[in-house]
Structure 1
Amino acid sequence: MYRPLLRLLPALLVMLASASVLAEEVQVAVAANFTAPMKLIAADFEKDTGHKTVLSFGATGKFYAQITNGAPFDVFLAADTETPAKLEKEGAAVSGSSFTYATGRLVLWSAKPGVVDDKGAALLRGEFKHLAIAAPKLAPYGAAAIETMTKVGLLPSLEPKLVQGESIGQTFSMIASGNAELGFVALSQVFEDGKIKSGSAWVVPTNLHSPIRQDAVLLTRAKNNQAAVQLVAYLKTEKAKNVIRSFGYEP
Structure 2
Amino acid sequence: MRRSRDAELRRARVAALIASAVTTVTVAVSGCSGGQDGDGSAGSSGILAARAPGVHSWTGTPCTPLTGEPLAKGFTVGSTTDSADPDVREDIGEGDARPRYRQTGCLADLTGPDGASWKLYTTADVYEESAPADRAYRVKHDLDRVHGRGPEQVHETAYAKPVDDQGRPGRALLLWNGDLLLTVTAYGPYGSKAHDIREGLQDLVENTARLVENALRDRDAPSPVPSTP
TM-score when scaled to structure 2?
Answer: 0.22
Q: Greater relative contact order: 1 or 2 (C-alpha under 8 angstroms, separation 6 or more)?
A: 1
TM-score when scaled to structure 1?
Answer: 0.21
Which protein is richer in strand relative to its size? Answer: 2
Which protein is richer in helix relative to its size? Answer: 1
